[in-house]
Structure 1
Amino acid sequence: MPFQMRPDAILSEVKTFNEKLAQGVTNLMEVGEISSGVTPFEVVYTEDKLKLLRYVGEKEPTNTVPMLIVYALVNRPYMTDIQEDRSTVKGLLDAGQDVYLIDWGYPDASDRYLMMDDYLNGYLDNCVDFIRASHGVDAINLLGICQGGAFSLCYSAMHPEKVKNLVTMVTPVDYQTPDNMLSHWVQNIDIDLLVDTTGNIPGEMLNWTFLNLKPYQLMGQKYLG
């Protein structure tokens, strides 16, 4: 039997949605300046737009193997360090880790000429080598997040001697799973033609694609939450 929603339940949900929306607009109008990234850091290496950050904790690291966080190109790395009580970076520092993070910077038209090899065997490898040399170690720990996790998987497969431990978070691995709507869409797109036409894949296109996986939940309820 198909799922049916009673009219009174629909009206109730719409009413609740509108009330939350009105309250959300009020909150946004009253909010002041919002800081992003709360943990102090120093920039220890730069290359083109890339910056390698080393975070400064309240105590000296106890783990002798440094950790490099490889974040996604399509999001901002301060998502790992939003607030003191909501910070992956701070949690790692408190646990005695020596934490580095790659900030890829903002892409522009010149980035259309970069290939995967440039990111993996260029930028990422240079950051790993810099950390290895700075600490006098043969291998470091990699924490790959989202798209950065896919990068870390590829890098670790090519340079296993430089990676002591690999940890991935929210990282896609199998792109052929039958219940993955996003992979079904992408398999029918000529990616090479899209890149040749647009140069860089526009952020707005990626955002629109992800939102349309669950339009009501991600376009309405997510932002109200």
Structure 2
Amino acid sequence: MPAEQKSGAARALAELSDFSMKIARGQRMLDRVKDEHVQIATADKEIVFREDKTTLYRYKSTAERKVSVPVLVAYGQIGRYTMTDLQEDRSMLRNLLALGVDVYAVDWGSPSRSDRWLKFEDYVDVYLNDCIEFICREHGIEAINLLGICEGGVFSLCYAALNPERVKNLILTITPVDFHQDQAEGRVNHGLLNLWTRGMSDDDVDRLIEASGNLPGELTGYVFSQMTPGATLSKYNVGLLDTFDDEKKLLNFLRMEKWLADRPHHPGEAAKQLLINLYKNNEMIRGEFQLGERTVDLSDISMPVLNVYAKDDHIIPPKTTQALRDAVGTSDYQEIGLEGGHVGVFVSGKSQGVLAKGIVEWLSERDAPSARD
């Protein structure tokens, strides 16, 4: 065999040996991993209020209070709030606590078929409202700081427009407002969820919900995974393989997978409002979205607004969020565009020193409690 061929064969055998050893190391690491090693949402907290399946948590302070008015974090129904406290070193909630914020978070629980008929108005006018009223009574104040994330940002927009006297400052993160601006930047891989929903008829949505009574969490998880099929197909071989040299990276990977797998069902009627009234008919930005007999008018949002978006968000493209600027009634409006994608702005290493710090600096400039009469 020529020397060149021998050299190539030797390199191939060495690479195969290295690969085999890497697989063996990864298998040993996976064998050592226990469920307690991949726990998420472990920041110290206590239950302070419950209503039906909704739970309100208050987090234990970890630093001297720098912002006097509490912050309530409201996630949506598409995923769980636990993403905001994925692990100790990738946690928006811990970062807020470390910067002196009094933090509450609402957990909507695990909707079942019995919650089929719950609507947006139940979550906004009842559950979110009652959590806010509890916090106001607890602190003897008139209004709180409300921080909404994704669909929770839509809940927060509705609440702030209908109850502006109860929201001192409104912070929105990765929140859709104009659901038809998904193609505004011409990035064909962005806004596929918007395109999918607009491609369905109202009858299609009705049949989708009627099949199980709710919008199944497994279905929404599948839809999101198919928006980036290449990454979905490669993450359990290439992506997982990349973690086999570093146990910390492996645990990071597993915690994210645990959050992705724990996707709740979305109550049926509220899901129909989300898909038909908002995604298809774009009623929020048009001033036509109704909760019961009340119309959500974004121009009634008179409190300061901080709107945070992800520059490379393929689920909630930036333009769908930035449309809020021209819709709100306040002149105190500010945007922060962060590098990364939809979830990355909360859990990536780069975002940890940026997101919470930006929020707290903005709040500190507008911080002064208003006591109840």
Give the letter for the 2:198 counterpart.
Answer: Q
What is the rounded CA distance, in whole Å, between the counterparts of 1:93 and 1:141 in structure 2?
A: 14
Q: Is the 8 A contact 1:45 1:127 kept in 2?
A: yes
- Provide the identity percentage: 42
Give the letter for the 1:93 counterpart.
Answer: L
Q: Is the 8 A contact 1:69 1:142 kept in 2?
A: yes
2:174 is the alignment partner of 1:194: no
Q: Cα distance, 1:24 vs. partner?
A: 5.8
In 2 relative to 1, CA 165–200 (structure 1 residues): closer, same or farther, beyond 3 Å? Answer: same
Partner of 2:170: 166
2:220 is the alignment partner of 1:218: no
Given the alignment, which residue of 122, 130, 135 partners 2:139? 135
In 2 relative to 1, CA 156–111 (structure 1 residues): closer, same or farther, beyond 3 Å? Answer: same
In 2 relative to 1, CA 220–91 (structure 1 residues): closer, same or farther, beyond 3 Å? Answer: same
Q: What whole-Å deviation, never above 9, does each CA across 1:49-95 have from its counterpart, x for those lacking one? A: 11100000223423221100001222222221122211111111111
Q: What whole-Å deviation, never above 9, does each CA across 1:168-198 have from its counterpart, x for those lacking one? A: 1122222112522211110122323322332
> How do residues 36-185 of structure 1 correspond to structure 2 at under 5 angstroms?
36-179=40-183, 180-185=191-196
What is the rounded CA distance, in whole Å, between the counterparts of 1:213 and 1:59 in structure 2?
A: 40
Deviates most, 215-224 or 46-55: 215-224
In 2 relative to 1, CA 44–188 (structure 1 residues): closer, same or farther, beyond 3 Å? Answer: same
What is the rounded CA distance, in whole Å, between the counterparts of 1:208 and 1:96 in structure 2?
A: 38
In 2 relative to 1, CA 178–128 (structure 1 residues): closer, same or farther, beyond 3 Å? Answer: closer
What is the rounded CA distance, in whole Å, between the counterparts of 2:72 and 2:84 in structure 1?
A: 13
Structure-1-length-normalised TM-score:
0.84
What is the rounded CA distance, in whole Å, between the counterparts of 2:73 and 2:229 in structure 1?
A: 31
Deviates most, 190-199 or 120-129: 190-199
Q: What whole-Å deviation, never above 9, does each CA across 1:31-60 have from its counterpart, x for those lacking one? A: 122222221111000011111000002234
In 2 relative to 1, CA 45–178 (structure 1 residues): closer, same or farther, beyond 3 Å? Answer: closer
Partner of 2:283: none
Q: Is the 8 A contact 2:113 2:212 kept in 1?
A: no
Structure-2-length-normalised TM-score:
0.52
Partner of 2:269: none
Q: Is the 8 A contact 2:147 2:172 kept in 1?
A: yes
Higher alpha-carbon Rg: 2
Count of aligned positions = 209
Partner of 2:222: 208
Q: Is the 8 A contact 2:63 2:99 kept in 1?
A: no
Deviates most, 57-66 or 79-88: 57-66
Higher relative contact order (CA 8 A, sep 6+): 2
